[in-house]
Amino acid sequence: MNRREFFKISWGTVGLAALVSGVGVSLAAVIRFLMPSVFYEPPQSFKIGEPGDFPFGPPTFLVDEKIFVFRDREKGFAVASAVCTHLGCTVAHFSSDQRFHCPCHGSVFAADGSVQHGPAPRALDWFEVTMARDGKLLVNKDKVVPPNYRLMV
């Protein structure tokens, strides 16, 4: 290799490296740009009202939060997710058979949320529900609890 070739190869390598890293960094920056830093979405933890707002018997469906609030005389409060674990459709609770039915691909969940039928890969989530200082029920969707979790009031 003579001097000339040496410079050609080294400059070529430097140039190529600059190009590749430039493109790589730009690409990473673009992807990061597309990833929102702030979500203007409802908070994951929210108050749903006083215990007295919820009747005994069939669960109350909260539309915006997409949750079912169960209130049982002996056992207390429990909150189930209404979002099907398959592809995110909103499930309905049928009081006739005490199960959750998904309209999209026919998943059926038992009363405790476990999958009985259909393509859903896992049970419906149950969320933590606690009593806030002001006496209101506080649901935290970031805290998934076992189906037998109950809040007694």
Partner 1 sequence: MNLIREIWQSIVRRDPLSTDKGKSELVFLNVWLHIHPAKVKKENMKFRHTFYLGFITFFLFLILLTTGIALMVYYRPYPAQAYQDMKDLQFAVFMGTFLRNMHRWAAHGMVICVFLHMCRVFYTGSYKKPRQFNWVIGVLLLLLTLSLSFTGYLLPWDQLAYWAITVGTNIGSYAPLIGGQLRELLLGGHSVGEGALIRFYVLHVAVLPAAMILLTIVHFWRVRKDGGLSRPVWKLKGKKEELVVIGAPAVAVPMQASATSKDKTYGLMEVVSGKPIFETVTPEEEEDTVFSYPYAFVREAVVLMATVTTIMTMSLFLNAPLEELANPARTPNPAKAPWYFLGLQELVSHSAFLGGVVAPALMVLALLAIPYLDRNPSRRPGDRKLILWLFTIFVVANLALIIVGTFFRGPGWALVPPWVHVVGGAE
Q: Can you give the binding site for partner 1, defined by CB under 8 A?
A: 31, 34-36, 39-41, 61, 63-64, 66, 86-92, 94, 101-106, 118-119, 121
Q: Which stretch binds ligand FES (CB under 6 A): 12-20, 85-93, 123-131, 140-148?
A: 85-93
Least distance in angstroms from the C-beta of 32 to partner 1 = 10
Figure out which of the listed residues 8, 47, 105, 122 binds ligand FES, where binding follows CB under 6 A: 105
Q: d(Cα 91, Cα 119) in Å, to the nearest integer?
A: 13
Least distance in angstroms from the C-beta of 87 to ligand FES = 4
Least distance in angstroms from the C-beta of 70 to ligand FES = 20
Bridge partners for 117 per DSSP? 108
Least distance in angstroms from the C-beta of 123 to ligand FES = 13
Bridge partners for 49 per DSSP? 137
Figure out which of the listed residues 119, 128, 145, 150 binds ligand FES, where binding follows CB under 6 A: 119
Q: d(Cα 86, Cα 135) in Å, to the nearest integer?
A: 35
Query: Which is nearest to 95 in space by CA: 146, 122, 56, 121?
Result: 56
Query: Which is nearest to 78 in space by CA: 140, 127, 117, 121?
Result: 127
Q: Which stretch binds ligand FES (CB under 6 A): 30-38, 55-63, 103-111, 141-149?
A: 103-111
User: Which CB, 13 or 116, lies closer to ligand FES?
Assistant: 116
- Give the residues lining the site for ligand FES (CB under 6 A): 84, 86-89, 102, 104-107, 118-120
